Structures are given as C-alpha cells and as structure tokens.
Amino acid sequence: MAIITQDTRIHDIAEKIRHGERLSIEDGLFLYETNDILSVAQLANEANLQKNGDRVYFIENMYINPTNVCEASCSFCGFKRKPGEDGAYTMNEEQLLEYVEKRWNDNIREFHIVGGHNNEVPFDYYLDTIRVLKKNYPNATVKAYTGAEIEFFSRISGLSMKEVLEELVKAGLDTLPGGGAEILTERYREKMSPDKASTDQWLEAHELAHGLGLRTHATMLYGSIESKEERLIHMDRVRQLQDKTNGFMVFIPLAMQPRTATMGLTRRTSAYDDMRTIAISRLMLDNFDHIKAYWINIGVQLTQMALSFGADDIHGTLIEERISHSVGALTSQGITRKELVHLIKTANKKPVERDTFYNVIKEY
C-alpha cells in the first residue's frame, strides 16, 4: 500500500491497516482532520479491494411505509404525522396490496418496510403487514422494522424485545433494516430523538435479532449536532457488537437531509464530508464486509465517486422512497436497473445484482 504523502501519521495508519491492526477512535479523528483526503480515499479503496475486489452490489427493492403516524418527535424528521393531522395515514390490508401491486415487477427481491411509531394500532397490525406481504409475494424478502421500532413494539405489546422478534420471525420477517440508530450516544439522542430507543436498546434489539439467526443492517445518520468523535464512537459501538455476533451485513452512513429542499448548501453535508465519512467507515469497520453509499441522500454522481472511497454497495432501485424525500432530499425517488448498472460500469467497477443477503443474482 504505497501512500504518496509526507504525513508520517498517514503512513503509521497505513502500516496498521497493512498488518491487520484495528484503528482507534484517535486514528479516526486524525482521518477526519487531515487535509490529505486523497490518501484517506486511497487507504479506504485498498481496504475495500481486499474485501470485495471490483464488485459493486445493488438490489431491486421496493420501499413501503405502511403508516406515517408516530408518537416520537425526532427533530430531523419531516415524515411523521400525529393522529388526525393533515396527511396522516395508516394503510389497511387492501391499501397495502394496492400500493404494492401498482409498483410491482417480477425482478423485485426485497420489501424495505419502515414506518412511524403508531400507537393507535396494536402490535398485530405490524405482524399482519408482514403476513400479508409474505402470503401474496412469497419470494420477496421482508426487511422490516428498525431496532427503535422493536423497542416501541415491546412497549405497546407488553412483550420483551426477544418475544417481539420471535413473533415477527413467525410472521415472516427475514431481516431488520439499519434505521433508528441515528448517532449512538445518549447526548445526541436526548437532543434529537428523545422519544425513541436508547443506544443500549438499539444495540440490544440487533444483538437479539442476531441471536435468533437474523442478519441485519446498521446505519449512521450524520451531519447535524454530533461531533466527529461521536460518529467514531457510533462506529466503535457497532464494531464491538459485530465482534460479538458477526450479525451485521453492511454499514450505511446516511447524510442528514435539511427540512426542506429549498434550503441552501450551508444546511447540507458537504461532498468532502460525505466522501470522507464513507472512507473512514470502511477503515474503522474492519469486521464489516460491506459499506453502502446511499444514493438517495448524496446523489448518484457522489455515489459513483464513493466507489473509489471504500463503498462497494449502492443500495437499490427503491421504486418510491418517501422518508428522505419528506424533508430535503434532492434526488429522484427511484432509479432503474439500467441506470444503476451504467453508474457502476462507468466507475470501472463490476455491477453485481444481489439479494438481501449478498447472494449473487447476476453479474453484468
């Protein structure tokens, strides 16, 4: 790993990576602070090539948000509605199937389901959502309900989080998405998402899921009040759980979106921050196989650039994404398979269509 820089600290970090030594939070802080972003990119790219070669993964998937009614008051969310508020909705079985049928094609591999913490309906509503989809679309994987939703279900049902997960698995749950993590420090959560699961509860939900044999996802929502150290503490906490369970498949850094699309550049994460965060994620999370660049948040061209900054996954077709678009996401709500393949190939990478669990469907 030949690093062209005079900075001895970069060389020291490169040596640690070369010898399989884990980077510390202090190393991560240096990588956030150095002006030599191209050396950070080179290190991350080398680390990714060792794990994934030139393969870049994507999936044909469909987002479903069954309800936007939510008891929580997260300061970054424009999706939620209170009961009876204009725009509030909760899909019944007929509406759910109608929504899917209008958007369905036979290449879709996965339903990605996230919604509000709606305490106006019982836990059975959330179970029935999975049952209905599994009954009508048995070959699609159900990726449903964040770690924060698991804790919420526990409160409204009176069941333990483990019992909640067991009931969801019986209904047909295949995996948990990575959302609800935001930043895994209590200072952040008290300010930004005080009504949702704590750091320990989010981690516990995923540890329990791993114990039941589910492979899951982990996210980090960056770009608001958190410090760089808190981002690295977040990475370290999921890294520690991965050491214990090896249950996470992928880490997904998510750039915070401003409250409205009309907000200017000063209210958005910078391209430099986005690329650096993806690269540092790849370098810190040595026990994760995959780092995802989420094109919905950073746009397709930065996503393409991220493939040289340590990312090996660009998510999926989505069909219709609502949550980021309820605030200030500027991207389209879906993308075609042809466009995803083009995006990867023009970065001189090999497009690989996958299923939820990174099994190869097709190489292009």
The conformational region for residue 2 under phi > 0 = left, psi -120 to 50 = alpha, else beta, is beta
Tell the burial category of 243 from Cβ atoms under 10 Å away from its Cβ (0-12, 13-18, 19+).
Answer: exposed
Judge whether 149 is annotated as a binding position: no
Write the DSSP string, 237-294: HHHHHHHHH--EEEEEEEEPPPSSTT--GGGS--HHHHHHHHHHHHHH-TT-SEEB--
Judge whether 76 is annotated as a binding position: yes
CA–CA separation, 295 vs 306, rounded Å? 10
CA–CA separation, 9 vs 26, rounded Å? 11
Judge whether 182 is annotated as a binding position: yes
Judge whether 111 is annotated as a binding position: no
Q: How far is CA 149 from CA 132, 195, 230, in A?
A: 19, 11, 23
Judge whether 74 is annotated as a binding position: yes
Residue with tokens 């900075």: 7
Alpha helices in the chain (DSSP H): 8-18, 25-33, 37-52, 93-103, 123-136, 147-157, 161-171, 186-192, 199-211, 228-245, 271-284, 295-298, 300-306, 337-345
Contacts of 59 (CB under 8 A, 6+ apart): 109, 110, 315, 316, 317, 353, 354, 355, 356
Binding site listing for [4Fe-4S] cluster: 70, 74, 77
Binding site listing: 70, 74, 76-77, 182
Binding site listing for S-adenosyl-L-methionine: 76, 182
